[in-house]
Amino acid sequence: MVAGLRAAVSSVKKIFPLPKHVAIIMDGNGRWAEKRGLPRLIGHRAGTDNVRRVVECFDAYQVKYLTLYAFSTENWRRPGEEVDGLLRILAEMIDRETRELHRRGAKLRHLGRIDGLPPLLQDKVQEALEMTKNNPGMVLNIAFDYGGRAEILEAVRRIIQDGIPSEEITESVFSSYLYTADVPEPDLVIRTGGEIRLSNFLIWQTAYSEFYSTSTLWPDFGEKEIEEALVAYSQRERRFGGLKAEGEAREG
């Protein structure tokens, strides 16, 4: 892994521009397990084990913000045994990884609701956020019990509760009520597992994000696939609704 990360660091000079914020829809854990004749929870555990490797790789590329879509508001509809297993895996991950992330200077953030989680898990999440809140390194957003529509509805309710006049509700004001209030919008959204859809993920924030889909299942998503995604991003021309890339002179 160390050799691979060194290679990633050396590749920074070759890949330009690099995204400041990468968001990932981690898809394919269940299919990864099924292909191997294993229970789906084994796939989720393998996917969780891959998080550290992916974080380290993006950190080596000096990506400042990384957002991982771990559990959606719709995932509560899955069989109870799978949901309970996912919650256990999250608790284990927090116990195992928080101190290492803290040592690396990463700042953990939670996107989504927390009140639907078991009380003990809520405490673990809050402790992890508190431990890392002043760290200066990568900001790692974990979207758990997150849904883009739910986020927007919650923002609307809070705006109404705060009594903000309709004529004062700008995009900037609205964005300040989202879970990602002080985080720049994603430059690049990566989805593993071959699907091509957002699945209710950051639907406000990704209006002008570049999208990249790979057939690689999440537990197998590693340094090679990350480099391929970053190279593809560097070759995109981001126009933000204009005719030319930002900063270029317009013609005609």
Catalytic residues: 27, 75
Contacts of 151 (CB under 8 A, 6+ apart): 111, 112, 178, 179, 204
Contacts of 191 (CB under 8 A, 6+ apart): 24, 25, 27, 197, 211, 212, 213, 214
Dihedral angle sign, alpha carbons of residues 208, 22, 63, 222: negative
In angstroms, the CA 127 to CA 113 distance is: 16
